[in-house]
Structure 1
Amino acid sequence: MRVIFANRYFYPDQSATSRVVSSVAFGLARRGFDVTVVSSREIHNQRDVVLPAKEIVGGVTIRRLSTTRFGRHSLLGRGVDYLFFHALAFFWMICNISFDDIAVICTDPPLLSVTSGLALRWKNAVMVNWIMDLFPEAAIELGYFARFKKTARLMLVLRDWSLRSRGLCICPTDTMAEYITRRGFRKDHVIVSHHWSDGEEIRPVERAQNSLRRKWGIESAFVVGYSGNFGRAHEFETMLGAAERLKADENIRFLMIGGGHHLSAVTAKARTDDLRNILFRPLQPIENLSESLGAADVHLVSLLPLLEHCVIPSKFYGILAAGRATIFIGDPKGEVARVIQKTGCGLHVDLGDMDGLTRAIRYLRDNPAICRSMGARARQLLTSEYSRDGAIDAWCRIITSIAALDLPSRHVSRGVSP
């Protein structure tokens, strides 16, 4: 029996889905499972890099497919890249998968479970749908199918058909799992396995020992950070409004690290409004993550409320690992807000509440002991609830439970809680 992961990006790529899939794949290989990964030969946002077609790393067999490389700069080019990966992954599975394999199908590219489902049903193999971002719901909520409602309905039908394949659905949040079950799936077919961060890879770094704070000239400031993707699922007007209100306060600086769809608009707004209290930096290499995340005293995480059932802001788990407080901007009933309220590892403000965010930042600046206490709770939460080893243990139980079933008569409804 092999465990086969399919995702467009994999190690050494450092994008969010790649890091999560890579962590599980390498973890299962260390526990003695026979693991194969099907991915592309690309590094996210690095079109000049071409990875080897075949490679064994950390006990994991990697099979990389040579797809088109138009990149993420246009929807048409991205769509072509998606289609080629779909087609090549389908034919790879038809040629290489056996009935006793367990295929873990991720959600990059979108609807990969549909084409993979066709191949896996043909081969009578088990499919575990690992849903990280829910498509087409996320695109529908963002308005991309406003003029193509029939296409959206067809995608929903196809996606739901694929989720009914022999195996399980794994969701990263209770909110997403509840949504899936409301669409008619049995509760024992849908399980929750939270995302996590590697507490060895990302460790708390004290302000005085942080070389990036010195390098960037923010040693003495109270630093409000944002680190990761400036994506369509996130909102930045609230943060920019708070920065505007705080720009006369020389003790407070905003540190924005990363890239993505909204970065150009955010930088343009900062220039237009003369927000010199905002410092922009590119994504940092993996070896600098502890200091990069530790450069901030508190981090901002935002999510559009209409996407709570579709998306999980994975940056939250890195913040926990770094031992920093979080201010969540979004739905007070959302996943991150609930965790913050339950554990006391940060604060919440509503979307658009610029004055509320300003007050929250000043409160933490003026109460450093409380801010540090929230950071300590964050790190403790990571080790107790969202650790890498805990996640690998859960995946071992899931895969072992599926493998223990009588393979010719496995049923989709026989789930297992991690």
Structure 2
Amino acid sequence: MVSDSAGVPDFPKDDSARAGGGRRIVFVNRFYAPDHSATAQILTDLAEYLAGRGWEVEIVTSRLIYGTAGTSLPPRQRINDVTVTRVATVNGATLGLVGRLLAYLTFYFSAGWALARCLRPGTIVVAKTDPPLIALVALVACRLRGAKLVNWVQDLYPEIAIEMGMSALRGPVGGALSALRDVALRRSALTVAIGQRMADRIARHGVSPDRIVTIANWSDDEAISPSVTNSPALRKDWGLPADAFVLAYSGNLGRAHEADTLLAAAVLLARRSDIWFLFVGGGHAQAELRRNAMAAGHEHFVFQPYQPRARLSESLAVGDAHWLSLRPEFEGLIVPSKVFGIAAAARPIVAVCDPAGEVPAMIAETRAGVSVAPGNAAGLAAAIVALADDRAACRAMGDRARAMLQRRYQRRTALDQWALALETLAERD
């Protein structure tokens, strides 16, 4: 088996998993392995899992690496029995909002053309939501070629753009985009939501409940193993004291996330020389957080770039606990799936979210961490101090997080749910 992507998991084939034999599926998403973004990683997992079950799997994606300018991957690859077709697009990584729009528009055109050429009757097309509304392009191609469309909804647009402040979308333009999005949802053979509140929102847009399936995203809980140490070699490389309490963040920190509460909590904790903050990854909000932390003179903030997938377990272990956030207005539009990576590493989840949101409810039920409302800096500071001062209780929370994952959110469970949904769909006339 040949792979062009280091660190991508290899799902073994077995004779009991041939239910997909002779069936064909095409995924469309802007990023795929070896890209490091979360959506690319879970798509890679699912594609290779289905290939192992006997499906003929093809990916229509871009030639880009997320957040990187100047990268151009090969137009055609075969990665672990998955055919990858990479279409030409504008790389808008350094061009701001205009660049992103150009990247989207060129991907719509190139991906639509590639789909129209490769589809045949009976093919299942799974459209993720990067770029937004790509399902509309996929729907046209499916109608032309007699294929079946599945929406894999990671986030709901244009609602997200509106909540992010794009006032132009609050009027007729946003209404028109929402109506077009709803057409793609209603005419899809199946819609997969990644959270129950998201599924409920989709149903309110006129999608039949029997065409909605909720399957949570996942982490690589087989590769991410709990560690009783804090990756001392990485701590040393990154300038973190070996005995410090480290609150970490791993992944993209974007506009939907909220960091002001953390900054305010850090001010309250300024005298605690044993408490440090680590941010691994990137994103618009992380760049802003870094500037604000430097301007405020926070000396215990450490920033590191994205780490290779093969090093994720070691990287996650650096933190004693992990922080995540979601602005309340984005509940049901986005699900902070990094919670599963935190749980896989057996670390407490420190959530700054709507108290009625999905992650705080998960924490309350399992006692796998703590949650505070956005703006409650004093509450967040107190929670961090409690974890730092009682490391045994901190470890116990992490153990409960891992147990929760093993009971409900294992990667293999989610992949099996996907296989069942797709195989059922393939049998439907």
**1:102: Cα distance to partner?**
0.5
Q: For 2:265, which of 219, 225, 242 is the aligned residue?
A: 242
Give the partner amino acid of 1:379.
R
Secondary structure at 2:155's aligned position in 1?
coil
Which whole-Å CA distance do the structure 2 matches of 1:88 and 1:147 have between them?
25
1:414 paired residue number: none
Secondary structure at 2:293's aligned position in 1?
helix
1:304 paired residue number: 327
**1:272: Cα distance to partner?**
2.1
Which whole-Å CA distance do the structure 2 matches of 1:208 and 1:320 have between them?
15
Secondary structure at 1:324's aligned position in 2?
coil
Residue by residue, what CA displacement relative to the aligned partner does 1:163-191 show, whole Å, maximum 9, x if unpaired? 12241010000000001111222111111
1:352 paired residue number: 375
Which whole-Å CA distance do the structure 1 matches of 2:218 and 2:352 have between them?
20
Give the TM-score normalised by the residue count of structure 2.
0.92
Structure 2: gaps (5+ residues): 1-22
Q: 1:222 to 1:287 in 2, by over 3 A?
A: same
**1:55: Cα distance to partner?**
1.1
Q: 1:380 to 1:210 in 2, by over 3 A?
A: farther
Q: 1:352 to 1:84 in 2, by over 3 A?
A: same
Which whole-Å CA distance do the structure 2 matches of 1:127 and 1:113 have between them?
8
Secondary structure at 1:262's aligned position in 2?
helix
Q: 1:287 to 1:134 in 2, by over 3 A?
A: same
Matched, 1:365 2:376: no
**1:208: Cα distance to partner?**
5.5
The answer to whether the 8 A contact 1:207-1:219 is kept is no
Q: For 2:172, which of 150, 153, 172 is the aligned residue?
A: 150
1:251 paired residue number: 274
Matched, 1:183 2:173: no
**1:263: Cα distance to partner?**
2.4
2:101 paired residue number: 79
Which whole-Å CA distance do the structure 2 matches of 1:142 and 1:217 have between them?
34
1:415 paired residue number: none
Give the partner amino acid of 1:367.
D
Matched, 1:278 2:297: no
Give the partner amino acid of 2:286.
L
The answer to whether the 8 A contact 1:43-1:49 is kept is yes
Which whole-Å CA distance do the structure 1 matches of 2:182 and 2:411 have between them?
30
Residue by residue, what CA displacement relative to the aligned partner does 1:59-94 show, whole Å, maximum 9, x if unpaired? 111111111222254111111111111011111121
Q: For 1:64, which of 86, 98, 121 is the aligned residue?
A: 86
Which whole-Å CA distance do the structure 1 matches of 2:383 and 2:79 have between them?
45
**1:267: Cα distance to partner?**
1.7
Give the partner amino acid of 1:97.
L
Select between 282-291 and 246-255 the one with higher mean Cα deviation. 282-291
Q: Which has the higher contact order (CA 8 A, sep 6+)?
A: 1
The answer to whether the 8 A contact 1:173-1:312 is kept is yes
**1:122: Cα distance to partner?**
1.8
**1:207: Cα distance to partner?**
2.2
Q: CA RMSD for the aligned pairs?
A: 1.4
Q: For 2:141, which of 119, 124, 138 is the aligned residue?
A: 119
2:58 paired residue number: 36
The answer to whether the 8 A contact 2:25-2:125 is kept is yes
Which whole-Å CA distance do the structure 2 matches of 1:268 and 1:400 have between them?
49
Matched, 1:171 2:182: no
**1:367: Cα distance to partner?**
1.7
Which whole-Å CA distance do the structure 2 matches of 1:96 and 1:288 have between them?
36
Which whole-Å CA distance do the structure 1 matches of 2:310 and 2:232 have between them?
13
**1:390: Cα distance to partner?**
0.9
**1:140: Cα distance to partner?**
1.2
**1:146: Cα distance to partner?**
4.4
Q: 1:3 to 1:147 in 2, by over 3 A?
A: closer
The answer to whether the 8 A contact 2:230-2:317 is kept is no
Which whole-Å CA distance do the structure 1 matches of 2:112 and 2:281 have between them?
33
The answer to whether the 8 A contact 1:303-1:330 is kept is yes
Matched, 1:397 2:420: yes
2:3 paired residue number: none
Which whole-Å CA distance do the structure 2 matches of 1:67 and 1:271 have between them?
36
2:285 paired residue number: 262
Q: 1:81 to 1:209 in 2, by over 3 A?
A: closer
Secondary structure at 1:37's aligned position in 2?
strand
**1:120: Cα distance to partner?**
0.8
The answer to whether the 8 A contact 1:196-1:382 is kept is no
Secondary structure at 2:167's aligned position in 1?
coil
Alignment coverage as a number of residue pairs: 406
The answer to whether the 8 A contact 2:230-2:318 is kept is no
Which whole-Å CA distance do the structure 2 matches of 1:18 and 1:370 have between them?
35
Secondary structure at 2:112's aligned position in 1?
helix
2:70 paired residue number: 48
Residue by residue, what CA displacement relative to the aligned partner does 1:350-392 show, whole Å, maximum 9, x if unpaired? 1000000011011111221111011111112222211111111
Q: Percent identity?
A: 38
Structure 1: gaps (5+ residues): 407-418
Q: For 2:218, which of 196, 199, 203 is the aligned residue?
A: 196
Which whole-Å CA distance do the structure 1 matches of 2:280 and 2:241 have between them?
14
1:231 paired residue number: 254
The answer to whether the 8 A contact 2:70-2:91 is kept is no
Q: For 2:347, which of 304, 319, 324 is the aligned residue?
A: 324
